[in-house]
């Protein structure tokens, strides 16, 4: 089975194992964690989005199966792909990728393919893994890259993930990896993101897709978030709670060219 090597260690997060564990611990919010069906967590460098990701993973229970749906920043590989199995390595240890669950998800959604290429240099899933491992070293990963802009394909993916969790991995956590609006000034970024966050909190996946298109909100993980909301609602989710919101300017970044980060939990 394949071994997926870190692509952004030393840039997005520390490459030294001890330093990485310390940085994750610094970012993790104190508990107690609560059961959740889904979540949205950001995936930028830990200096900027790490505290928001840490609030998410510190606030929700991390079960033995975590499905992470991330965007395709690189354009490599197919638009909709599942890592086939093996180990996903980080400097602080590896997480097992469940081959049976990966194969079953592909069977459930004909849009999906088992693929390595789309995952090799993609950071959207990678930066979530150290948090997952720190919270549950026994966790198994299902890694999905969703680069589609087609709403029907997002819905099909969400329905397939829901069926996978219902039949093969009850209690799994579904994480949509996404940053929010990109590279506008701080005030504009916050104003745009409020419109998207409103739809996330209402668990309105169609409204989220529509407002991002209409308002040109450059939320890179729109497709993962839509799929997660579809899946979570099919699995009985009734409410969503915004856990954190900030921009890169809050960490000292350029106020003229910001990225937004939100943390969300979706619960029964």
Q: How far is CA 151 from CA 23, 148, 154, 206, 227, in A?
A: 36, 8, 5, 8, 9
Other beta carbons within 10 angstroms of residue 110's beta carbon come to 10
CA-based nearest residue to 154, from 79, 242, 68, 74: 79
Q: How many CB atoms lie within 10 A of CB 47?
A: 15
Single out the residue of 222, 220, 268, 261 nearest to residue 241, CA to CA: 268
- The pLDDT assigned to 138 comes to 97
34: domain CATH number is 3.40.830.10
226: containing domain: 3-267
Q: Is beta strand 239-247 parallel, antiparallel or unpaired with respect to 173-177? A: unpaired
How many other CB atoms are there within 10 angstroms of residue 198's CB atom? 14
* C-alpha span between 159 and 239 (Å, rounded): 18
The answer to whether the peptide bond before residue 160 is cis (omega within 30 degrees of 0) is no
Helix (H) or strand (E) segment spanning residue 11: none
How many domains are there within the chain?
Answer: 1
For residue 31, the model assigns a pLDDT of 77
- Distance (Å, whole) CA 106 – CA 87: 19
Position 177 scores a pLDDT of 98
Residue partners of 170: CB distance under 8 A and separation at least 6: none
Per residue of the chain (268 residues), give pLDDT as tens: 899 999 999 999 999 999 999 999 999 998 799 999 999 999 999 999 999 999 999 999 999 999 999 999 999 999 999 999 999 999 999 999 999 999 999 999 999 999 999 999 999 999 999 999 999 999 999 999 999 999 999 999 999 999 999 999 999 999 999 999 999 999 999 999 999 999 999 999 999 999 999 999 999 999 999 999 999 999 999 999 999 999 999 999 899 999 999 999 999 9
Query: Taking the complete model, does pTM exceed 0.75, yes or no?
Result: yes
Report angle CA 58, 170, 209 to the nearest 5 degrees. 70
CA torsion 56-122-182-150 (nearest 10°) is -90
Position 30 scores a pLDDT of: 87
């Amino acid at each position: 089975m394949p071994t997926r090597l870190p692509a952004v260690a030393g840039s997005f997060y520390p490459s030294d194992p001890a330093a990485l564990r310390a940085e994750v611990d610094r970012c993790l919010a104190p508990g107690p964690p609560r059961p959740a069906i889904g979540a949205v967590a950001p995936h930028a460098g830990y200096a900027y989005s790490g505290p928001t990701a840490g609030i998410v993973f510190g606030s929700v229970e991390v079960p033995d199966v975590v499905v992470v749906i991330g965007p395709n920043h690189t354009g490599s590989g197919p638009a909709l792909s599942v890592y086939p199995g093996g180990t996903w390595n980080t400097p602080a240890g590896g997480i097992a990728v469940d081959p049976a669950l990966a194969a079953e998800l592909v069977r459930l959604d004909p849009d999906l393919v088992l693929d390595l290429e789309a995952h090799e240099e993609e950071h959207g899933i990678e930066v979530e893994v150290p948090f997952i491992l720190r919270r549950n070293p026994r966790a198994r990963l299902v890694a999905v890259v969703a680069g589609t802009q087609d709403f029907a394909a997002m819905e099909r993916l969400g329905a397939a993930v829901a069926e996978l969790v219902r039949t093969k991995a009850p209690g799994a956590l579904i994480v949509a990896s996404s940053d929010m609006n990109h590279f506008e000034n701080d005030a504009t970024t916050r104003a745009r993101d409020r419109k998207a966050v409103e739809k996330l909190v209402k668990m309105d996946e169609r409204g989220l897709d529509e407002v991002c298109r209409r308002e040109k909100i450059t939320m890179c993980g729109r497709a993962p978030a839509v799929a997660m909301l579809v899946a979570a609602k099919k699995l009985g989710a009734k409410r969503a709670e915004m856990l954190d919101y900030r921009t890169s300017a809050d960490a000292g970044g350029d106020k003229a060219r910001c990225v937004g980060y939100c943390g969300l939990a979706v619960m029964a």
